[in-house]
A and B are shown apart, each in its own frame.
Chain A
Amino acid sequence: MKKLIMKTILAAGIAAVAIPASAKTELQWWHAMGGRLGEVVDEIAKNYNASQSEYEIIPTYKGGYEDTMTAGIAAFRAKQQPHVLQIFDAGAATIINAPGATIPVADLMAEHGKGFNSNDYIEGVRYFYADSAGKMIGMPFNSSTPLLYYNKDAFAAAGIANPPATWEEFEAIAPKLKAAGYTALAQSHSPWILSENFHSRHNIQLSTGNNGYDSTDVKILYNNDHMKMHWGKMKEWLDAGHYGFFGRAWGDNQDAFVQKKVAMWMGSSGSFGGLKKSTDFEFGTTFLPYWKSIIDEPKGTFIGGAALFAMSGKSDAEYKGVADFFAFMTNNENQVFWHKETGYVPITTAAYNMAKADGYYNESPDAEIGILQLSQPGGEWTKGYRLGYYVQIREVMYKKYDDILSGKSSVEKAFSEMESESNALLERFAATYK
């Protein structure tokens, strides 16, 4: 209690006194970027702080995505929230639906004269962290999209010229890869790749209520024939030795590709940097396959990763700094820098064009594939989704997929249970906001 009173007095004192021009306003930034990514974050922060003298942004690594969100939530409840918080895709509904927890980035930028036009952003990036009217609430930060990586040596050994564009083609070439000693396919993060982006690629509706953007009172639509068909096939492929499942951990499935157990791996557009270092074979990148039987002209995918949110409860002067920092982050040079160093996609078309003009994609064509896929024409259902308790729903999905692949449950039963359990979660979430 005493601490709280002290803090209030202090805060009031600071607010009452005009901030002298020489003292830098500190902006706290909590993020979940570790390892190499964290180093790049630190560098960007350093560059920003050196580029002007009014604000100082201080990045702090808070753990993985969930841990960072939890830390942000706890801090907010204790009125000690940072200025900028990084929230991942599964947490978007939680933070965007909390009434007044954040200042929408579109409003923030407009208010502080930084100008904001969502059409500046690449198609697949624009809508995920926006509201149903298209106003962007969070600023996409580390964005990636799922892609197919394939082992060129393996393909050569099996006598296959091109990677499969469709799942039908995949079925045709898988036996040839098996004959050459490879399991054809593995993938990481099945909910992200084989559910959410599956729906986007085939332009299938993911949930009612405009994929969840219109309201919280929604039901999930995963229990559809297309998904069931695909997952039935996955089980078939697993049994036939064309598909390998190495557990839930992202790295285990990626390792299988690196260790040449599988010839193809579906991962993130940001994975190619790490793959370049760890593989001793030539690999290629291409778009996510689709079923020709479902859609003729496949649509693009949407972004995974996370966005930066401006937390509410700060002073106007501080928001001016946050807006300034966001503008810095989204200028072309920094976008291209971030893109090149981390493999995440640049979020604005202008930055993308700049990288193109630089000739970056001539040296590194893999880097472009993700952006190309994100820039593909959008459909009605390529904007992404906004679903509450989505971390738990992903758990349900993982569980049911495990059951399907291990044979414990039939596809029909697993999807029906997935539907009812997810809807129970969605209902709880909706009840929270009545």
Chain B
Amino acid sequence: MNNINWRILSNHIILLLGVLFMSLPVWVAFSSSTHTAETILREGLQFWPGPTFIETYREAMFEAGGVMKSVLGVTMLKNSLILGIGFAVGKVIISMLAAYAIVYFRFRLATPLFWIIFLTLLLPLEVRIIPSYEIVAGLGLLDTNFGLIVPLIASATGTFFFRQFFKSIPDELLEAARLDGATPWRFFIDMLIPLSKTMIAAILIIMFVVGWNQYLWPLIMTTKEENYTLVIGIKQIYQILSDGGELPQYQKAFALTIMATLPPVLVVLFFQKWFVKGLVESEK
């Protein structure tokens, strides 16, 4: 009996340590954001929440911050939302269409096109970042939402998820549909999409998180402050905070950090079931 108790106890201890390891930094960030700058400078990071929650967050969201003092936390929040949602939706639509074509049609260029799409999986944006920047600049798309979102869709991850999923759908479905005289378009809309609902939800969630968390690409191609997303706006603001000259406003930095983390985390938490399913299904 003793053996079993020990084991269970140690399991819980390990798990608790794990939870602490993962959660403590964010908790401390949150707590510190609710104190004043002076407190933080005097005493260091805070563990227990303090008195200035509303004040700090109001300032961070609605008072013009940033380098040129022209960008609001809310603006950056909006930009991040546009990026996250735009990217997720765009990716799902385009990948579904492409995956549908690859799986359900026999056409001449199918194989070479498939390999081209596959190639993009191998080379992430970072290795072609500078020519991508030049091309987008040349097309006049810097500082635009289009230029921000579309180049990110150029990787085939979504197409692959849907390809695997479509391949797992039994052939009989298509046979029955053809017997009924269904056109490819009807089959897609009436049968395939409803079947893929869970998958679509999962991919939307995953891609929202991916889009929201984009760093290098938005960093390079937004040059005006009002186009900053939360993730890169934070970096610029941190830089000002540490550039000396004024009292470092760490509590605002932490507040922005929490704001940058909250939406994707909430999305992941609420849609946990679909999220995990999608993430894991994609592996198969």
Q: Is the CB of B245 within 8 A of A278?
A: yes
Give Cα A399 to B140, complex, Å.
Answer: 37
| Given A35-B67, A38-B68, A60-B224, A78:B137 Cβ within 8 A | yes
Q: Contact between B244 and A35 (Cβ–Cβ < 8 Å)? A: no
Known: A61-B68, A74-B133, A74-B134. A278 touches B244 (CB 8 A): yes
Q: Are A250 and B244 in contact (CB under 8 A)?
A: yes
**Segment from A191-199, A203-211, A252-260, A408-416 that makes contact with B:** A252-260
CB proximity to A under 8 Å, residues B124-148: 133-134, 137-140, 142
**Are A3 and B139 touching (Cβ within 8 A)?**
yes
Contacts between the two chains (Cβ within 8 Å), count = 66
Write the chain B residue with the least CB distance to A254: B244
- Of A61, A78, A252, A278, the contact of B138 (CB 8 Å cutoff): A78
A61 touching B244, Cβ below 8 Å: no
CB contact between B240 and one of A34, A62, A278 (< 8 Å): that residue: A34
CB-nearest residue of chain A to B222: A63
What count of chain A residues pass the 8 Å CB interface test?
29
Would A61 and B134 be within 8 Å (CB), given that A35-B240, A251-B243, A278-B247 are in contact? no
Inter-chain contacts of B248 with A (CB < 8 A): 255
Q: Which residue among B134, B138, B224, B248 has the maximum number of chain A CB atoms within 10 Å of its CB?
A: B138
- Bound together, the chains give a CA A78 to CA B137 distance in angstroms of 7
B223 close to A63 (CB less than 8 A): yes
When C-beta atoms are compared, the residue in chain B nearest to A188 turns out to be B244
Among residues of A, the one whose C-beta sits closest to the C-beta of B242 is: A251
A34 in contact with B67 given A278-B244, A278-B245, A278-B247 (CB within 8 Å)? yes
Q: Let me know if A39 and B69 touch, CB within 8 A.
A: yes
Chain B contacts of A251 at CB under 8 A?
242-245
Contacting residues, chain B, for A278 (C-beta < 8 A)? 244-247
Q: Which residues of B contact A (CB under 8 A)?
A: 67-69, 133-134, 137-140, 142, 223-225, 240, 242-248
A-B contact sample (17 more), CB < 8 A, given A61-B224, A277-B245: A3-B139, A35-B68, A61-B68, A61-B225, A67-B223, A74-B134, A75-B137, A77-B137, A77-B138, A78-B134, A78-B137, A249-B243, A252-B244, A254-B244, A271-B244, A273-B245, A278-B247
25 interchain pairs (CB within 8 A)? A35-B68, A38-B68, A38-B69, A39-B69, A60-B223, A60-B224, A61-B68, A61-B224, A61-B225, A67-B223, A71-B223, A74-B133, A74-B134, A74-B137, A80-B140, A250-B243, A251-B242, A251-B243, A251-B245, A252-B244, A255-B242, A255-B248, A271-B244, A275-B245, A278-B245
List the 5 shortest-distance A-B pairs measured between CB atoms, nearest first. A274-B245, A34-B67, A251-B244, A254-B244, A78-B138
